Structure 1
């Protein structure tokens, strides 16, 4: 783990080198082909603002993530939600992610859902993800919503 000031010192030291080599540095943006993605239609039913505003969406930091024993789908997350008390959320995403790749990530959760027991473990919230299907396929893709690590645990989304 680096101290907060170490990045600034490294940046100052490398700044002179980077300006000398500026012409040699090229950024390559990876193009993603979305032409084969099937998007679900939007809901026709509307939700009034008062109902929506009751949902508490928060940035959460993954402190620990493990596979739930005797489950092929469930991952158990131990999350920092900014309250100082660890939050446990279970999510059926093991087909898409290995637990160790999620530790340290900043995710988005809805935190005021009623607790729900799964496999004998109480889950207190839900992680948000984007899901889509590929055209001409039954395969589904799932991507957890991950945000910039500079967003602190507990930050509220509006």
Structure 2
């Protein structure tokens, strides 16, 4: 693994978001369509990995950490406009969550 400069890291917009809706994607067993709320009327569609481990309805309401400024990426016909951060243990994602009330959209520095 190579080092990343502080300047490159500082370009990432890492924020607190809440998963407000999810649905399965027909024909896809590993990804879920989700909608996140970043506060200030900023809601976005995202692709969430881990459909083989989690039911879509079970993750609604989770407060998670996202990278908000990645270039959009289209998968399964859906444009994903952020990326949820997760730990990867044996190919299973464990999303980074917040266990305190923090305003949506708060930056992670």
Does TM, scored on the shorter chain, surpass 0.5?
yes
Q: Which has the higher contact order (CA 8 A, sep 6+)?
A: 2
TM range, normalised to the smaller chain? over 0.9
* Alignment partner, residue 152 of structure 1: 103
2:61 to 104, 109, 127: 104
Aligned pairs, how many? 109
Cα–Cα, structure 1 residues 56 and 84, in superposed 2: closer, same or farther, change >3 Å? Answer: same
Select the structure of larger CA radius of gyration: 1
Q: Compute the TM-score of the two structures, normalised by the length of structure 2.
A: 0.92
Which structure has more helix as a fraction of its residues?
A: 1
Cα–Cα, structure 1 residues 149 and 99, in superposed 2: closer, same or farther, change >3 Å? Answer: farther
| CA-to-aligned-CA distance 1:25-53 (integer Å, 9 cap, x gap) | xxxxxxxxxxxxxxxxxx2x111100000
**Structure 1 portions without partners, runs of 5+:** 1-42, 134-139
**Structure 2 portions without partners, runs of 5+:** none
SS in 2 for 1:100: helix
1:122 to 46, 69, 79: 79
